[in-house]
Chains A and B, each alone.
Chain A
Amino acid sequence: MIFLDNLVNGISLGSIYAIIALGYTMVYGIAKMLNFAHGDVIMMGAYIAFCALQYWNLPPFLALVVAMLACTVMGVVIEGLAYRPLRQAASLAVLITAIGMSYLLQNLALMIWGANPKSFPSSMISIPTISLFGGQLKIAGATLVTILANIVIMVALTLFTSKTKTGKAMRCVSEDRGAASLMGINVNRTISITFAIGSALAAVAGILLCSSYPTLQPTTGSMPGIKAFTAAVFGGIGSIPGAMLGGLLLGVIEIFGKAYISTELGDAIVFAVLIIVLLVKPAGLLGKTVREKV
Chain B
Amino acid sequence: MESNLGWKEYLITRAIRVAGYSAIVFVTLIFYFLLREGLPTLAEVKLTELFALRWYPIEKYFGILPLISGSLIVTLGAALIAIPFGIGTAVFISEIAPRWAREILKPLVELLGGLPSVVLGFLGILVLAPKLRLLLNLPTGLTALTGSLLLGAIAVPTVVSVAEDALDSVPRSYREGAWALGATRWQTIWRVTLPAARSGVLTAVMLGVGRAIGETMTVMMVTGNAPVLVTSLGGLFSPVRTMTATIAAEMGEVANGSVHYHTLFFIGMVLFIISLIVNVTASAVVFRSQKRAERVLS
* A and B associate: no
